[in-house]
Amino acid sequence: MRIEIICTGDEVLTGKIVNTNFSYMTQKLEDAGLAVVWGTTVGDDRDRLLEAFHLAGQRADAVIVNGGLGPTIDDLSQEIAAQAAGVDLILHDQWLEKMEGFFTRRGRTMPPNNRKQAMLPSTAEMLDNPIGTACGFAMEIGAARFFFTPGVPRELHRMLEQQIIPRLLAREGGVAPTIHLKRFHIYGLGESHVDQLLTGLEDLVPDGSLKLGFRAHYPQIEVKLTLRGTDMNDVQRKLAPVQAEVRRRIGNFIVAEDDQTLESVLLAELRRTNATLALAETFTGGLIAGRLAPHAAADRIFLRAVISRDPAQLHAAVGLPTPHSPLDERTAKTVATAIRQQANATHALAVLIDLDEGTDRMDLGATVWISIATTNQTQSRRARILGGRDWIRLGAAELAMDCLRRTLHGLPIDQRTDFEKT
């Protein structure tokens, strides 16, 4: 099925707002095994909207139009949809009544211009919007089935997931199959490396119902397995050998799965073992603390964090004398041990970064010292990261958290990543 997405609105076309709706829709459709072939952005112009609808109706099988369903003069989707299909706009009494109730329940009177939102093309199928005043609708224009959606993100999300994707899947295959998305979150390997390691994975499901996808968002790679089946039992039967093979090939570089995050994995393991954590960070701006602290699970686990740009102040904060030598393994271990004892924690993670001199640039690097202290031992690791200040911060924080994950799971912390330089 060839799908086109048309996003409308001058504010989207001119870049005054970031078009997050488009990226959301394409991601959700891809997760369901549906391919978006074209993406079009059109301003609030009648002639250009009409041209875009006609073109999409000729080349696509299904079209999702986002925006233009509001009550104002520049909301044109209903009007142009009716014109493109050669039909009239008619009042949809059911939606008008629902809108009036929407306002009444909030102690308000519906403004007259909202009545426009109940004017739909005569051939349209209404798509319910239980959390807003802009109903969606579906209709034929040319050779394509068009789905019109509100621009408000939360209203779009609900309509797309609950009403449009099931209709698209049914339209493609007659009966909507069961779709399951399995995700692996990987740190330490580059996208091309992961792609190479997973070569031939789709061949494990000979009927072609498995789709392998990747999403790179430094410093992690997300591997997506989209599987179709007649029901969930069929999907799980196909998925079992595939996910086992992914775990075998990627190994220790898988940091989380599905809705897990690296930080949620860390907190779950610390909680499982009744452990507690203290942190010491330099140059990261507290990235690690900022990722752990918002979780409710951190309340009794995450005891203390010391964040400083100046190594001397960091040492003073953990009760150590001012250092008189460059950062090294011994310094990192000393800091980790000191903050663990000071916080009376079972574990401490220290991330000390020695930034190279010079202006921010792509080849700016840093030497990163990571140490993890427990009641039984203290481990350390050195890494070189290049790529500029932000790249270094993100990379160092992720590497440090992964070292803690590996420590908690009994894995080696010195396994080299693709992002390190000699």
Q: What is the pLDDT of residues 137-175, one digit of tens each?
A: 999 999 999 999 999 999 999 999 999 999 998 887 655
Q: Are residues 248 and 269 in the same domain?
A: no
Domain final position from 257, 290, 321: 257
The mean pLDDT of the chain is 94
What sign results for the dihedral spanned by CA atoms 396, 401, 407, 409? Answer: negative
CA 50/CA 44 separation, integer angstroms:
11
CA 169/CA 178 separation, integer angstroms:
10
pLDDT band at 30 (very low <50, low <70, confident <90, very high): confident
Q: What is the pLDDT of residues 226-273, one digit of tens each?
A: 998 888 999 999 999 999 999 999 999 999 999 999 999 999 999 999
Nearest partner of 6 among 21, 28, 16, 27, judged by Cα? 21
What share of the chain in percent tops pLDDT 90? Answer: 87
- At 169 the pLDDT is 87
- At 173 the pLDDT is 66
Please determine, for residue 405, whether its predicted confidence score (pLDDT) is greater than 80. yes
Q: What is the pLDDT of residues 177-232, one digit of tens each?
A: 788 899 999 999 999 999 999 999 999 999 999 999 998 999 999 999 999 888 89
CATH number, domain containing residue 8: 3.40.980.10
Domain final position from 215, 241, 257: 257
- 414 within some domain: no
pLDDT band at 176 (very low <50, low <70, confident <90, very high): low
Please determine, for residue 422, whether its predicted confidence score (pLDDT) is greater than 80. no
- At 178 the pLDDT is 80
* Structural domain of 200: 178-257
- At 93 the pLDDT is 93
Global pTM value = 0.78
CA 219/CA 415 separation, integer angstroms:
16
Q: Are residues 63 and 184 in the same domain?
A: no
CA 80/CA 78 separation, integer angstroms:
6
Domain final position from 126, 152, 173: 173
Q: Are residues 384 and 291 in the same domain?
A: yes
